[in-house]
Structure formats: C-alpha cells, structure tokens
Amino acid sequence: MAPSLKKVEGLTYEAAFKELEGIVAALEAEGNPLDESLSLYERGQALAVHCAALLEKAELKVRQLGADGLSDFEGQA
Amino acid sequence: MLQPSLFEIPRLSVTEFTRRVRRLLEGDPALGDVWVRAEISNFSRPSSGHLYFTLKDPGASLRCVMWRSDALRVRGLDLQDGLSVEVHGKITVYEPSGQYQLVVDTLRPAGAGALFAEFMRLKAMLEAEGLFDIERKREIGNFPRVIGIVTSPTGAALQDMLNVLRRRLPLAQVILAPAPVQGAEAPAALVQALKRLNDQAQPDLILLARGGGSIEDLWAFNDERVVRAVVASRAPVISGVGHETDFTLVDFAADLRAPTPTAAAELATPLTILDLAGALRSDRQRLDDLLNRQIDQERARLESINMELRFYSPARRLQTEAQRLDDLTHRAARALTHSLALETAGLRSLSRRLEALSPLAVLRRGYAVVTRPDGGIIQAASQAPVGAELHVRLAQGALKVKVNQSNMEET
C-alpha cells in the first residue's frame, strides 16, 4: 500500500470502491505477510463501511448551470 | 343524348350497381395511393376510436375515415375543424350508403411534407459528412458521477429523468443546462447549453432530451447547428427526444439514442445503486474470505513449523540421549557380565598356576628357606659364618638355628 493513505472519510464512493477492489486483488495475490494482510483487511473493511454509508445517504444533487454559473436548482418536484 | 329504351328490363340491382362503381373507383391506382391536402371539417371521434371527418376546399369535400389503429399513431396534433392537414390513403366505397370515402392511414399537419423533405436533405448531407458514422460513437460509462442535462427546466421530461436518476443512481450529481426545446430561439439555446456544459462542468455524459410533440415541436432537434453541437460535444451525448417512433437528426448524431427521456436516463445509468450495493456486499464477503483463508494457511504453517520444532527440541534430544544411554548401559552391562565370566575362568587357572609356583609348595616337597635375621635369603655357605643365627622356614612352622660348621665347597 502506498504510504500516502487518504482518510477513508474523505474519499468519494468511486475512489473508495476502487481502492477496495485493489485491496481484494492484493489479498487474492497471496504471499503477503500476515500483518500486512491484516492491515489491508482493516483498511478494506473501513472502505466498505464508508461505501455502504455513502450509498445509504446518497441523495441526487441537482444544480443549474446558467449564463452566470452554477446555482442550486429549485424547480424540483 | 341517347334515349333510354323503354322496353329494356332492369339489369342491375342497386347492390350490383354499387359494386361496379366500387370496382371502378378502387381499381384506379391514382386513387389507391394518394396524398391529399385540405382543411378538416365535421370532425368526430366516437368511442370506437375511429376518426370521421370531411376534407374541404373551396370547390369540393371528401368524406374520410381513419381506423383506430392508424389514428393512434397521430400524436401532437389537436385534431379539430379548420386544421390544415395532409393525409394519405386510398379510396373505398361504403356500399350501404352508396358513398365513396378516403380511408386515411397517415395524417400530418400541412407543411409536414415540406419539413420531411428538408429533414431528408439535411440527413443525407450530414450523413455524407460522416457525422452519423458508427465509428464516431463513444462508449457510455457504467458509473457516471456528473450527468449533464440539456432540456427545458419546466418540462415533464426533466422531472421524468430526475425521477429515474434519483431512483437508480442518487450518488450522481446532475447539472442542468436549461434551454427552450421548441421555437425559433431553441436551436441556438440548445447549442449554447451544450457548449456551456462541456466548457464549465465536464460532465461524464450529457442527456439531451424533450418530451413528445408534433414534428414542428421537435424541429429544433433537426437543426443543423444542434446536430453539429452534439457531434462536437466532448462528453458523450444520449438523446431522448419525443416518443419511440420519433427520429430526429440529433438521434443520429448522438452517441446513444434513447426512445424517450425516461429511457435516456436509464441508459445513462447502466449500474444502479442496487448493483453497487451488491458489488460492495460481495467485495466485503471476498475480503472476509481472503483473510480467513490466509489465517487458516498461517495456522497450518504454524502447526507444521511447530511439529518441526518439537522434532528438534532439546527435550526430544534429551530423550534420545537418555535412550541411547540406556542402550549403551545395557550393552555395557552385557559386555561386562561376559568379560567377568571370562575373567573368573582365567583367574581360576591363573591361581592354579600361581599355586604351583608358590614357594610353600616347594617347602611341602621338603625344602626349607634359610634367611638371616634381617630377612636376607641365604643362598651360599659363605653368607652364614659359624655361630650366626639363622631363620629356617619349613612347610609347617619355622626354626631358629645356629651355624656349627661351614663347608664352603660343597654345593
């Protein structure tokens, strides 16, 4: 794993899920020392929990792009 | 003028007459596949769903019927008296009333034919330029993060798309670039909205959509400028214009054509939140399985190392040594017993031989040992002067004697 691990809480769903898949692949490759596998696993669990939470609270965000830039879109039913 | 023969007997019944007229009219190819342009009057739509109306121009009128199945395909038109239309159909005769009528299979607003010709001209031109080539079509990703939408902010199409996106992929962000979708200003506004989205929002894809309408309503989506803006878009474009049966030039230019706005939103989100949740679940399961497998492997490895360790452990060494020691002791004991027996036998013969050599045995044969008082053995007469006291050892007991005479030569 790269030393520059980002905080799980700050990751987008896409980034977190991608990293989770990378961790699964790394564990699948075998040959990791057990302590490394354990920290991979812990990181993976944290990512999975984060992803699940993002799915849980996901709410479609709609903004409007007009001539004067982005603004909240109010016309939602 | 020909005078009728008064004596002629009537040859045709009304039915036969009408049938003959019918054959005549329906046999005319020019009346069997014809476009007619006029105004609608006497329009009626009974509960059967068939349409009845009369087409009129200043000089004549023509009764028309449109069967329900064909009438269902007429959309976006407010059919009523006074509406100018173009209809296509064939002549028939309705025998019970002896009336001929046009059976209409296609009905469109007047001028639509000209529009269609223009549509075909533009389509051929843009097609020749390669703008509709299949190789130009870009892949639509599985998981868009930012979805651009170009449509009217007040139309039902927008709400339809937002509902689909909210349900299927609420993780996504939507950026709406509003634009009128019909009218003279629509093409320029649609072009501007597409450009703005590409320049300022970098969406993963763009939905370009509007709900159903008449061919004129949808006409902005056949505008050459809009078609070129779709081709120029950096983000892939999914078009969803009108209904299933409506095809616009934008549909040909888009990377993916959806039959409706709702379908466009569905095509934009091949993976739904349910798919994502499922993939997440299986990844978590996989994570658990992999770690458990490794722990099992490590445990097995530990077990086998442990066994090896026990094999080489000092305790085991000691046991082995103790056993070897036992073994040696045993062997030594056996060897010792054996040699003792040998020794015993040897000793017996030795002592017999020793006994044979013992001076006592000599004494028993009648010899005596003569010694001086200091213990020195007397072997010659010269060693014992007359008067010397000597000690004589016999087989049984000893004597003290005094030398009376000495004869030195005698042996």
Query: In this predicted structure, what is the pLDDT of residue B295?
Result: 87
Claim to verify: residue B86 and residue B100 sit in the same structural domain: yes
Query: In this predicted structure, what is the pLDDT of residue B69?
Result: 93
Claim to verify: residue B193 and residue B303 sit in the same structural domain: no
Q: Report CB contact under 8 Å: A27, B166.
A: no
B-chain residues within 8 Å CB-CB of A29? none
**How close, in Å, is residue B194 to chain A by CA atoms?**
11
Range of the domain at B377: 362-402
Q: Report CB contact under 8 Å: A41, B196.
A: no
Task: Give the whole-angstrom CA distance, residue B43 versus residue B49.
Answer: 13
Q: Give the mean pLDDT of A42-52.
A: 90
Segment among A62-66, B206-210, B237-241 with least mean pLDDT: A62-66
Selected for mutation to probe chain A from B142, B163, B280, B299 (highest A CB count within 10 Å) is B280
CATH code of B147's domain: 3.40.50.2300
Query: In this predicted structure, what is the pLDDT of residue B410?
Result: 57
Query: Does a structural domain hold residue B263?
Result: yes
pLDDT band, residue B18 (cuts 50/70/90): very high
Residues 39-68 of A with CB under 8 A from B: 41, 44-45, 48, 51-52, 54-55, 58-67
Selected for mutation to probe chain B from A56, A65, A71, A76 (highest B CB count within 10 Å) is A65
Claim to verify: residue B255 and residue B283 sit in the same structural domain: no
For B322, what's the count of Cα atoms within 13 Å in the CB-facing half-sphere?
A: 6
pLDDT band, residue B180 (cuts 50/70/90): very high
Segment among A59-68, B3-12, B94-103, B136-145 with least mean pLDDT: B3-12
A27 → chain B, closest CA residue? B290
Q: Give the mean pLDDT of B360-389.
A: 83
Claim to verify: residue B301 and residue B180 sit in the same structural domain: no
Selected for mutation to probe chain A from B294, B296, B297, B299 (highest A CB count within 10 Å) is B294
pLDDT of B411 over the 60 cut: no
Please tell me the total count of domains within chain A: 1
B-chain residues within 8 Å CB-CB of A20? 280, 283, 287
Segment among B98-112, B138-152, B369-383 with least mean pLDDT: B369-383
B274 touches chain A (CB under 8 A): no
pLDDT band, residue B131 (cuts 50/70/90): very high
Q: Are B209 and B161 a contacting pair, CB within 8 Å?
A: yes
Q: Give the mean pLDDT of B131-157.
A: 93
Q: Report CB contact under 8 Å: B290, A24.
A: yes
Q: pLDDT (tens digit, 9 = 90+) per residue, B311-328?
A: 777 777 788 888 888 888
pLDDT of B101 over the 50 cut: yes
pLDDT of A1 over the 50 cut: no
**How close, in Å, is residue B103 to chain A by CA atoms?**
44
Among residues B254, B271, B288, which one ends one of the domains? B271
C-alpha closest to that of B125 among B249, B257, B217:
B249
Claim to verify: residue B93 and residue B167 sit in the same structural domain: no
Residues 172-191 of B with CB under 8 A from A: 172-178
pLDDT of B113 over the 80 cut: no
Query: Does a structural domain hold residue B144?
Result: yes
Query: Does a structural domain hold residue B372?
Result: yes
Query: In this predicted structure, what is the pLDDT of residue B33?
Result: 92
pLDDT of A30 over the 90 cut: no
Segment among B47-51, B187-191, B298-302 with least mean pLDDT: B298-302
Q: Which comes out higher in pLDDT, residue B298 or B196?
A: B196
H/E run at residue A6: none
Task: Give the whole-angstrom CA distance, residue B192 versus residue A72.
Answer: 20
B381 touches chain A (CB under 8 A): no
A54 → chain B, closest CA residue? B171
Q: Give the mean pLDDT of B235-250.
A: 92
Segment among B149-163, B203-217, B299-313 with least mean pLDDT: B299-313
| Reported ipTM exceeds the 0.90 cut | no
Claim to verify: residue B373 and residue B285 sit in the same structural domain: no
Q: Which comes out higher in pLDDT, residue A16 or B314?
A: A16
In percent, how much of chain B has pLDDT > 90?
55
**How close, in Å, is residue A65 to chain B by CA atoms?**
5
Query: In this predicted structure, what is the pLDDT of residue B372?
Result: 86
Q: Give the mean pLDDT of A23-45.
A: 86
Please tell me the total count of domains within chain B: 4
pLDDT of A2 over the 80 cut: no
Range of the domain at A50: 9-72
Query: Does a structural domain hold residue B332?
Result: no
C-alpha closest to that of B218 among B250, B266, B191, B175:
B250
Claim to verify: residue B143 and residue B196 sit in the same structural domain: yes
Q: Report CB contact under 8 Å: A58, B200.
A: no
Q: Give the mean pLDDT of B105-130.
A: 88
Claim to verify: residue B384 and residue B308 sit in the same structural domain: no
Query: Does a structural domain hold residue A25?
Result: yes
Q: Give the mean pLDDT of B383-390.
A: 86
**How close, in Å, is residue A30 to chain B by CA atoms?**
8
Q: Report CB contact under 8 Å: B175, A63.
A: yes
Task: Give the whole-angstrom CA distance, residue B295 versus residue B133.
Answer: 55
* Residue in the structure block whose two tokens are 């000209």: B114
How does A41-75 read in b/e, with b if 16+ C-beta sit within 10 Å?
bebbbbbbebbbebbeebebebebbeeeeeeebee
Task: Give the whole-angstrom CA distance, residue B184 versus residue B155.
Answer: 17
Among residues B242, B271, B300, which one ends one of the domains? B271
Q: Report CB contact under 8 Å: B171, A41.
A: no
Claim to verify: residue B255 and residue B312 sit in the same structural domain: no
Tokens linked to B114: 């000209």
B-chain residues within 8 Å CB-CB of A63? 173-176
Angle between helices B261-268 and B156-168 (to 10 degrees): 30
CB count within 10 Å of CB B233 equals 23
B175 → chain A, closest CA residue? A63
Query: Does a structural domain hold residue B5?
Result: no
Select the highest-mean-pLDDT range: A26-30, B111-115, B259-263, B348-352: B259-263
Q: Give the mean pLDDT of B140-157.
A: 94
* Residue in the structure block whose two tokens are 């703005």: B196
β-bridge partners, B101: B92
Question: Which residue among A38, A58, A60 sits closest to B174, beta carbon to beta carbon?
Answer: A60
Query: In this predicted structure, what is the pLDDT of residue B63?
Result: 95
Question: Which residues have C-beta within 8 Å of that of residue B249, sequence separation ≥ 6?
Answer: B119, B122, B123, B126, B221, B222, B223, B224, B226, B227
Query: Does a structural domain hold residue A4?
Result: no
In percent, how much of chain B has pLDDT > 70?
98
Query: In this predicted structure, what is the pLDDT of residue B409?
Result: 67
pLDDT of B366 over the 90 cut: no
